[in-house]
A and B are shown apart, each in its own frame.
Chain A
Amino acid sequence: MKLKNAWPKYYKKGVVTHYCPGCGHGIVHRIVAEVLEELDLGKRAICVNPAGCAVLAYLYFDFDVIESAHGRGTAIATGVKRSRPDLFVFTYQGDGDLSAIGTAETIHSANRGENICVIFINNAVYGMTGGQLAPTTLLNMKTTTTPLGRDPKYDGYPLHITDVVAQFPGVVYAERVAVDGPAGIRKTKKAITNAFKTQVDGLGYSIIEVLSPCPTNWKLSPVDSFKWVTEVMMNEFPLGVLTDKRARKE
């Protein structure tokens, strides 16, 4: 058997990432780079990376990247895409970035049906700042700012923002996947491919939510973290295609 694409063209070689052992970012980064290569989009791709753990993604991605202020990714992507519709534009955002501080930008870029893709990494905590409560934190889950566990009386409920935007006519493709194992990784790649093609075909907004492990802040081993995604997180955030309007006639 011949190994194809042993190293993705659009992923920098010889670079060690800063991500913790067992973190899902590295997996999703690689998938993104692979799909850009397979669809031949790397030469005209612009990634908007977030404030959060993936703020340093430009050190690993070997295509053009612009950083965004916390939560503003889809507004910047709107500016890039509207100015240069020929470019391929996607954001890469975490749950705090996309569904807390950036909620307005997320909702309205989706509602405008911007022809962009959103890669949404949901790990149920704020990773970079050290594991605080995120909108996506599960009930009773302990974080540094919910030391006794998330109590809905005080902290509300896990926010399902992908389900929210999937209702919008402007959102053409929305799917929730998980990088919890080889099968999940393959499905994630397929979902991201669908999303990227949606933009290439000029159909509009797509969002892929990726349930992703954060062993450091979950205080679990990498192996247990992957299990936790499958066994616990998926109960709150069931996987599947949330909307698919690609066949719609305008």
Chain B
Amino acid sequence: MNKVFISGNHAFAEAAIRAGCHCYFGYPITPQNELGEYMADHMRRLDRVFIQSESETAAINMVIGGAATGARVMTSSSSPGISLKQEGISFLAGFELPAVIVNVMRGGPGLGNIAPAQGDYFQATRGGGHGDYRTPVFAPASVQEIADLTYNAFAVADRYRTPVMMLSDGMMGQMKEPVVFPEPVGKLPEKEWALKGRGEGPSRYLCSLILDAMEMERHNWKLVRKYGEIEKNETRYEEYMLDDAEIVVIAYGTTARIAKGAIKRVRKDGVKAGLLRPITLWPFPRKALYELANRIRQFVVFEMSTGQMLEDVQIALAGKADIVFHGRPGGVVPTPVEFARIIYREYQKTAKTQL
């Protein structure tokens, strides 16, 4: 077990290489450039494919081409670039092709800035592109988790034949932490459906065009059944100090990391706070939240946005508990002290009403 000190962006790349990623296609955009640079440095030496494309649109379509041959493929970008990839992600979903897409989010809308933000939650969890589909979304909260989840993302993509989104931000991408990488993957799964030339067999095609409405509807419901399986098997979350908690923070990624600091802080003052951290944003850990609301009355949602995951929390809690939201959009990274103040304030309010 070799522990290395490595940045989040490099960890995405190294984990992908170890997961057997055969092709990487990408276009430069800050704050994720180190990912593509790492790939440029390593992929060709390993006799694998690295192409710097002419645009994010081209990159995602190269991903489609690589995925169609059954190879494990990856692309990465940051918010504006991910918007450009949405057409291709919709096609991947329609084709049922596996691929891993990394979004190292930055402030927006528009060009925004290059500071860490979480404003692409809606885009990532609601499909993002056109048409009726979902994309599994993993939200790592440490560089170790970037490595582990990226490795896993390829397996999930292959298992369900679906694009998978890794949703992180400039903070996760840029910070360095010690990481133990998973062992390089052994045998990759056989892909019967991949295009390899017809050989002696019948010809095949991959298409998302289904002109017959009834047939298109069947395809849509087929996808829904698949998404149901993903919800059942792949929903992930972390519970932190929930056992005796009276107030619960919901946060993901960088924000969850900061929230943990805040919780440690308020615990010193006797505030029984805990954290539920969604690791998959879609599927969202709705059931876990709903059950938590049987014993918890007060929830606090922290995001580096104006309130996007907040809506999933509202849906999950279905009016069973109070929700307070605190967001810092635009690339502002909140501090543990800031979060601690809010947890403390809300906890006091609840305590007062209970008196």
Contact = CB atoms under 8 A, between A and B. Distances in A.
Interface stretch (A42-50, A211-219, A235-243): A42-50
A79 interface: yes
Nearest to B91: A69
A67 B208 contact: yes
Given A45-B197, A66-B195, A82 B57 contact: no
B207 to A, nearest CB: 4
A75 B75 CA distance: 13
B61 A63 contact: no
Contacts of A75: 53, 57-59, 61-62, 64-65
Interface in B1-59: 22-23, 25, 49, 51, 53-55, 57-59
Contacts of A56: 209
Contacts of B208: 67
Contacts of A72: 57-58, 61, 64, 88
Interface residues of A, number: 37
A233 to B, nearest CB: 29
Contacts of A62: 198, 203
Given A43-B197, A46-B197, A79-B23, A66 B206 contact: yes
Interface secondary structure of B, over-half rule: mixed
A55 interface: yes
Interface stretch (A83-91, A190-198, A201-209): A83-91
A80 B197 contact: no
Interface string A98-109: 000000110110
A44 B88 contact: no
B248 interface: no
Interface string A29-55: 000000000000011111010000001
A170 to B, nearest CB: 13
A68 B61 contact: yes
B39 to A, nearest CB: 13
B196 A64 contact: yes
A165 B209 CA distance: 30
A197 B267 CA distance: 73
A63 B205 CA distance: 8
A10 B197 CA distance: 12
Chain B contact patch, size range: 35 or more
B67 interface: yes
Interface centre among B53, B54, B58, B95 (most CB of A within 10 A): B58
B61 A66 contact: no
Contact of A104 (B54, B67, B203, B206): B54
B65 A69 contact: no
Contacts of A67: 205-209
Which one of B64, B197, B208 has the highest number of Cβ atoms from chain A below 10 Å of its Cβ?
B197
A60 to B, nearest CB: 10
B197 A76 contact: no
A80 B73 CA distance: 11
Interface of B: 22-23, 25, 49, 51, 53-55, 57-59, 61-69, 71, 73, 87-88, 91, 95, 195-200, 203-209
7 closest A-B pairs by beta carbon, nearest first, are A79-B65, A75-B61, A44-B197, A58-B205, A108-B54, A79-B62, A76-B65
Given A45-B198, A76-B65, A76-B68, 13 more contacts: A42-B198, A58-B207, A62-B198, A64-B195, A69-B87, A72-B57, A72-B88, A75-B53, A75-B59, A79-B66, A82-B62, A88-B197, A104-B55
